[in-house]
Amino acid sequence: MTETDKKADRLAAKETKKKEKAEAKKQRKSQAAKDRWFSISGIHKEAKRVRWPHWKSEGTNNPGILQNSGEVILFTAFFAVFFVLCDLLVTWLLTFVA
């Protein structure tokens, strides 16, 4: 073998090694990595992944925390009044019948 053939073989070997490394890296990336969430760095990493809501609404599709909180409070108040009225009605009916 001549010197140029040896160089060409080495270059080809390097290229195949690079391709194999790239494929292995791609496979590792596609596989779900085991998170070490039970550590400070794992918790920090997980907190970065969370899609945190905004305080105020940003458009029609993204209600903010304030709007969601208002809806929850209104819903809770409505059902509190509903159940109090139901309780009063049942109490009145029982006293009327008995």
Which residue bears the tokens 């819903």?
A: 75
Which residue bears the tokens 């794992």?
A: 42
Q: How far apart are CA 54 and CA 63, in angstroms?
A: 8
- How does pLDDT run across 55-83, given as a tens digit for each residue? 877 776 777 888 889 999 999 999 999 99
| Predicted model pTM | 0.44
